[in-house]
Amino acid sequence: MRRYSRPALLLAALLAALAGYIDAVGFLQLGGFFVSFMSGNSTRLGVGAALGDLTIVATAGGLIALFVVGVIGGVLVAPEWWRWRRVSVLTLVTALLAAAAWLAGQGSPASAAFAALAMGALNAVFQRDGDIAIGVTYMTGALVRMGQRIAMALRGGPVWDFAPFLMLWMSLTTGAVLGALSYGRIGGAALWVGAAVSAAVAALLAARDGRRG
């Protein structure tokens, strides 16, 4: 995280909030499954397998597979050498979220599938040296790193190195609150808000990258 500028960290926080928002909407749509938090779906898959509940296994396994396909798609549309890579990833995410929102309006269960694809692709925004440098849709790693940095501070190290990881966690949690509130008011149409946010961020990045060109 030290290698990233303040604007990049703010972008990561915003995208984490978007991920929390979409995950909360998906969780409520699906009655307890996730479109972003694949550790939770993996646990549900294991429990479903132990109970012999093939519906749980199929739902959790399908969402995990779709998420991975989304990551693959996000990486493929955004080679690291291309200066428009973040814009291209967010354009893909916007299109997938718009499809998810439209399908939700039709009452189609495929809405969650497109949301899971979008959340997988979202992680490709922060690529560095052939790897995903900041995972914006899951916070377990961020919490572990936050704990590590706090321990280092207690040993006399940098005092505030934990702050970016705390910011990511707080952003995702805040997004989840907003997603749940939005779903409670407007149902699956809440996904249109996520698509609009993704489109707005893509437009801002495109304008910035265009000025640099």
35: in domain:
yes
List Cα–Cα distances, 16 to 57, 174, 197, in angstroms. Answer: 27, 9, 12
Average pLDDT, stretch 93-102? 98
Query: Rounded CA gap, 55 and 110, in Å?
Result: 16
Query: Rounded CA gap, 11 and 35, in Å?
Result: 21
Question: Would you say residue 4 has pLDDT above 80?
Answer: no
Query: Rounded CA gap, 180 and 187, in Å?
Result: 9
- Residue 77 buriedness (CB in 10 A; 0-12 / 13-18 / 19+): middle
**Predicted pLDDT at 2:** 59
**Predicted pLDDT at 173:** 96
Instruction: Give the domain extent around 72.
Output: 6-208
Average pLDDT, stretch 78-86? 82
φ and ψ at 128, to 5 degrees?
A: -155, 130
80: in domain:
yes
> 51 by DSSP, 3-state: which?
helix
One-letter amino acid for residue 172 of the chain: L
> 160 by DSSP, 3-state: which?
coil
The contacts of residue 1 (CB under 8 Å, 6+ apart) are: 9, 134, 145, 164, 165
Question: Would you say residue 51 has pLDDT above 90?
Answer: yes
Tokens describing residue 107: 């009452």
157: in domain:
yes
Query: Rounded CA gap, 21 and 10, in Å?
Result: 17
Q: How many distinct structural domains can be found in the chain?
A: 1
213: in domain:
no
Greater pLDDT, 128 or 109:
109
Query: Rounded CA gap, 26 and 67, in Å?
Result: 13
**Predicted pLDDT at 1:** 57
Question: Would you say residue 111 has pLDDT above 60?
Answer: yes
132: in domain:
yes
**Predicted pLDDT at 79:** 82
For residue 132, the domain's CATH number is 1.20.1250
Mean pLDDT of all residues belonging to the chain: 92
**Predicted pLDDT at 172:** 95
Question: Would you say residue 64 has pLDDT above 60?
Answer: yes
Worst-scoring range by mean pLDDT, 38-42, 68-72, 134-138, 208-212? 208-212
Tokens describing residue 65: 């597979």
- Residue 154 buriedness (CB in 10 A; 0-12 / 13-18 / 19+): exposed
Tokens describing residue 124: 């490709």
1: in domain:
no
- Torsion angle of alpha carbons 120, 124, 125, 130, nearest 10°? 160
182: in domain:
yes
